[in-house]
Amino acid sequence: MEIAFRSDIGQRRTSNQDYADAFTNQQDVTLALLADGMGGHQAGDLASRSTVEDLGTLWEAGQLTDPEKASSWMVKHIQEENHVIYEKGQEQAETTGMGTTIVAAALFSDCYVIGHVGDSRAYLFRDGQLKQLTEDHSLVNELVRSGEITKEMAATHPRRNVLTRSVGMPGDVEVDVTEITAQADDILLLCSDGLTNMVSEADIQTVLHVDAPLAEKADTLIAAANEAGGVDNITVFLIAKGGSLS
């Protein structure tokens, strides 16, 4: 397995509130995690980093090798982390209302288990085609689903950054989990909306189709988002069958 991830502050932000990392459990199963924090400079940083590191530490201590159990693990621990982040947000004024998205991918030899909350996305690039695996938990996506606006209108909607679910919300959060059968030559893409708001899916697909090292593809996607304006932090996580960390 080859993994490459990159994170960039972008052109407009004064801090990077995205955070991503990969963790391997006691049975050599890797979990990729990407979070996009919100709620002000310190609050967003804290929410995204804490969520990734807390989940990663728990994964490293475990021995899961069963995809179905990994699905249950994601739901349980992301829901628990939701309460942790909410409580941290109540501790002081500057962290009030902090939260984060999360997208997670447990990488088994024959499948991927994808869990997410928020609008950070997972895509699968297979046989030259890019397919979105997650559905945004956002106001504009609800409007698209109801037919009130088109997907094209959603891209410039003034409230496109309003989430309907996040880690750090009061009460319980619903976690979406899906299992995808793995094939040779697959590339998984996890990303924050700093990429998808700036670079079209067609252009992402073109980059992933190029015969180049995975790390170079990640760098190209970051550069494309910055060239398009880079209005937000940009984080890209690429995973391919075969290879090593880069």
Identify whether the C-beta of residue 44 lies closer than 8 Å to the C-beta of residue 37.
yes
pTM for the full predicted model: 0.94
Which residue carries 């990994």 as its tokens?
70
Q: For the segment 201-246, what is each residue's pLDDT rounded down to a tens digit?
A: 999 999 999 999 999 999 999 999 999 999 999 999 999 976 444 4
pLDDT of res. 243: 45
Whole domain around residue 77: which residue ranges? 2-240
DSSP 87-125: HHHTSSGGGTT-EE-EEEEEE-SSEEEEEEESS-EEEEE
Position 163 in a domain: yes
Position 245 in a domain: no
Split into its structural domains, the chain has a count of 1
pLDDT of res. 41: 65
Position 246 in a domain: no
DSSP 12-35: T-SS--EEEEEEE-TTS-EEEEEE
Q: For the segment 172-200, what is each residue's pLDDT rounded down to a tens digit?
A: 999 999 999 999 999 999 999 999 999 99
3 state SS of 154: helix
Percent of the chain with pLDDT over 70: 97
Query: What CATH number has the domain bearing residue 230?
Result: 3.60.40.10
